[in-house]
Amino acid sequence: MTVLKGLYPPIRAYASGWLNTGDGHQIYWERSGNPQGKPAVFIHGGPGGGCSPLHRQLFDPAHYNVTLFDQRGCGRSRPHASLDNNTTWHLIDDMEKLREMAGAEQWLVFGGSWGSTLGLAYAQTHPERVSELVLRGIFTLRQQELDWYYQDGASRFFPDKWQRVLSILSEEERQDVIGAYRRRLTGNDPVVQLEAARLWSLWEGETVTLMPAVNAASFGEDDFALAFARIENHYFSHGGFLEQDDQLLENVTRIRHIPGVIVHGRYDMACQVQNAWDLAARWPEAELHIIEGAGHSFDEPGILDRLIRATDQFAGKA
């Protein structure tokens, strides 16, 4: 029986700071691993989720020089939960500035969930800067994907949890859940904002793993929930600021020369496995790994094993 690979041991960042974007944001960044190692960047999910020390452990610290950053408005970036000047294209510009700061001509781009969305958008904008792509829990931000998770799809598998999401909405508002939550999350009443933020965030926290997650309750903590819900809803309300619904699939031709690994859980309820299948159909050169007995989260055993194998492979270890 094959032994599943797990996270590398905990490691501290050897450098950190804030990038002043010049338009009102300060982006928290950090680097860990070997300063002379292979450059890589980790893109967190959400949008609005922020980075965790666990994310450093997806890379062999002897072989990688890894940049992690909290995207605009979340984590340790400032101002907290801000939607101003916060679009996919702002984040891509931030990544380019961070790459230049790191002194990397190219770097491996690793992203899961929304991180796969931003990873694809970044690679398609700057293909010459990407050495490899490792993408997990594919999310291409098509309307059908938003409808699945926030209107009529995943709710059929979690009717009890979905009922909490609907509990603050009128019958009319339930026809457009994302829009109804946007009005609350961007309104002037902080009590209403926070109530909506908790419900929005907990829906995701309680549905992203195949088995109940021990940390699901953390999605309802005030600071995290407010940034996560406001920013995520902001992006989804605007279609990720993409020019067309299937843009990320249509533009795969720009990145087919880049070595890639696609990892997706068979029972991913947040992002259906069809998303990964559709991406792989456009990008046959990439490795596609559909993980049995797994949902959406990066730390589910089968998914984590395949992600570690991917970073080891691109480090020349396998």
Q: Give the pairing of strands 130-136 and 260-265.
A: parallel
Per annotation, catalytic residue among 55, 234, 289, 296: 296
Among the options 32, 77, 82, 113, which is catalytic? Answer: 113
Residues 175, 317: Cα–Cα separation, whole Å? 51
94 catalytic per annotation: no
- For residue 106, what is the enclosing H or E element? none
Q: Cα–Cα distance between 10 and 58 in angstroms, integer?
A: 10
Which candidate in 60, 70, 94, 268 is catalytic?
268
Strand order in the sheet with 260-265: 15-20, 26-33, 64-69, 38-43, 107-112, 130-136, 260-265, 287-291
Query: Is residue 299 annotated as part of the catalytic site, yes or no?
Result: no
Cβ 303 vs Cβ 134: under 8 Å: no
Distance from C-alpha of 280 to C-alpha of 173, rounded to nearest angstrom = 36
Whole-angstrom distance, CA of residue 318 vs CA of residue 315: 8
Known catalytic residue at 90: no
Q: Identify the three-state secondary structure at position 193.
A: helix
Catalytic residues, by residue number, are: 113, 268, 296
